[in-house]
Chain A
Amino acid sequence: MQTLKKETPALEDCRNSWASTLEELAANDPRIVAVVNDSVGSSKLDKFQKRFPERVINVGIAEQNMVGVSAGLANGGKIPFVSAASCFLTGRAMEQIKADIAYADFNVKLVGQSSGIAYGELGATHHSIEDFAWLRALSNIKVVSPSDAWETAEAVKWAAAYEGPVFLRLSRMPVPNLDITNRVFTPNKAEVVRRGNDITIVCCGTTVHLAVAAADLLATQSISAGVLNASFVHPIDEEAILSAAEIGPLVTVEEALTKGGLGGAVAELTASNKPIVIERVGFPGFLPTGSAEWLFLKYGISAIGIAEASKRALQRAESNK
């Protein structure tokens, strides 16, 4: 049985885990290179650059070229990890991601840094809450949103070994490591963090630890909530979602738009296979300025907010009977 300890664990910036893992991999595989848009510091790649200076290809502030260059590096036998702020990597270079990476099927790993609303105060130009929806519209690219530092390291190792296009969505918001005994990273599968009998919270990335806290809160109110970490957002683990839909209503939680992303994927899947009540927690559109923590609270991405959404879902399911 997977359990979570109650004491507050230390928070970690997953960029440290990303950077140290990439450095370890690069030490053993000369094909690995980093491609950046003047984003060495914000990607925490300073040590990587110091150790492998010739293996950092800095294209300057030019995202379209950055993604095209990475396709060419893959053509030449390299395994490029393209690391840049997710808002610019996805928004500016979308056609290159579509044509040069996904459609051309090059072995390129796109790493969207500081995704979601990590840059809260900087405003909607710097928020990357559309990236799930944009990337989900593409075929032949895996979209992965790790939940903590441990899963980030596993996802980077998996991406390096996997032959094909990957988008890793990382954050700079510190999160605790989920305390799961004998934890195993299973590619393409959602991870059962908590089993529940009444409702399932389907979440990813920075919201998973909050969903666990919500499940704890709901347990005190005699509601048994499961937590499913859908870190493989695209393509989604259909079997796990449909199994959860057999138990009861679903709540989706993501640091992204409620349309087109994880919530959209779950809604599309269940509408066609197992129509069920869903509450989607996330962002509605362009957001006001404010810290990431403030935006999370304002839009209900918190233990209390997720617990309330869960109760709404249960009430709706009850009234549908």
Chain B
Amino acid sequence: MSNLDKDERIAAIKSKALWMRRSALKMVYGKQLGHIGGDFSAIDIISTLYFGVMDYDPKEPLSPERDRFVMSKGHATGALYSGLCAAGYFPEEMLSTYMQPNSNLNGHPNRNYLPGVETNTGPLGHGLPVSVGIAISAQLASSNRRTFTLTGDGELQEGSNWEAAMLASHRKLSNLTLVVDRNGLQQGAGTEETNSLAPLDDKFRAFGWDVSTIDGHHYTQLYDTLSAPRSTSNKPHCIIANTIKGKGVSFMENEARWHHGVPTSEQYSIALQELA
């Protein structure tokens, strides 16, 4: 891939990420409900996957050879839905139905409601085991398709993740990439004061994974790390993406209360100005 191609891709990732942040903000403000802090920490990762890395066709959402994205932090639907919409899975008008009665844009994603959703999540610790199964299916088929999973960091307190992490390395699933949205905050407090995850990189290495630690809002780092071929390794890849909860809106950044905070009309205006 030429440098120009890469620059163009990174420019697209950046502009889509801005659109996604504005969309997620409108959705949460419109419904007065949502998880804006975790949406904003995850959006740059999701934008990079859909607009720089993954092979998919929104017109054939169940194509067997598609790359899969599994959103394990299912509460961050502002990020997921705005990303799927930007990727062409459904029209923009649908975003305004977010969490309205009978909307397909459920508070947590349901694969039977929306194309592009790979599995139902919401309870934490479900995405990685399902992703391991998807990756095994590709391994059995000798397919090159890849599986990308996004978990929160607090979510890694769920033991099911570590059952899956163990099996992923045992089965040498180099086609599986886990991105940890390491914003350091869970619903009530910091991850490290609640039930510390550090040293997270050593934990994944001890479980037999390749580990990279990057700035989860740095588009070039995200693009380079996520798009690097995995053919030289026989291990699954964990990318610890250091992020900022509420990234992009000054008064939301690094504040646990914005886990599911809802902006006032004044805050909404300021936030839209900051995301211009």
Contacts and interface: CB of A to CB of B under 8 A. Distances in A.
Interface of A: 33, 54-55, 57, 59-60, 62, 64-65, 67-78, 80, 95-96, 99-100, 103-106
27 contacts: A33-B140, A64-B125, A64-B160, A65-B129, A68-B129, A69-B133, A69-B136, A69-B167, A71-B119, A72-B119, A72-B129, A72-B130, A72-B132, A72-B133, A72-B134, A72-B135, A73-B133, A75-B68, A76-B141, A77-B141, A78-B140, A95-B123, A95-B126, A99-B121, A99-B123, A100-B119, A100-B126
Contacts of A69: 129-130, 132-133, 136, 164, 167
B141 to A, nearest CB: 7
A169 B265 CA distance: 55
Given A95-B123, A96-B126, A99-B126, A73 B163 contact: no
Contacts of B68: 75
B205 interface: no
A162 B118 CA distance: 21
* A contact patch SS: helix
Interface string B217-257: 00000000000000000000000000000000000000000
B136 A76 contact: yes
A119 to B, nearest CB: 23
A62 B128 CA distance: 13
B160 A65 contact: yes
B111 interface: yes
B130 A76 contact: no
A78 B137 contact: yes
B116 to A, nearest CB: 13
B140 A68 contact: no
Given A65-B132, A70-B133, A76 B126 contact: no
Closest 10 CB pairs of A and B: A72-B133, A76-B137, A68-B129, A65-B163, A69-B133, A62-B163, A104-B120, A72-B134, A72-B130, A64-B160
Given A68-B132, A75-B133, A62 B140 contact: no
A32 to B, nearest CB: 12
Contacts of B110: 103-104
Nearest to B131: A72
B137 A68 contact: no
Quick one: which of B119, B125, B138 has the most chain A CB within 10 A?
A: B119
A65 B167 contact: yes
Given A60-B166, A65-B129, A65-B167, A72 B137 contact: yes
A68 B126 contact: yes
A99 B122 CA distance: 8
Contact of A75 (B119, B125, B160): B119
B88 interface: no
Contacts of A76: 64, 133-134, 136-138, 140-141
Interface in B128-172: 128-138, 140-141, 159-160, 163-164, 166-167
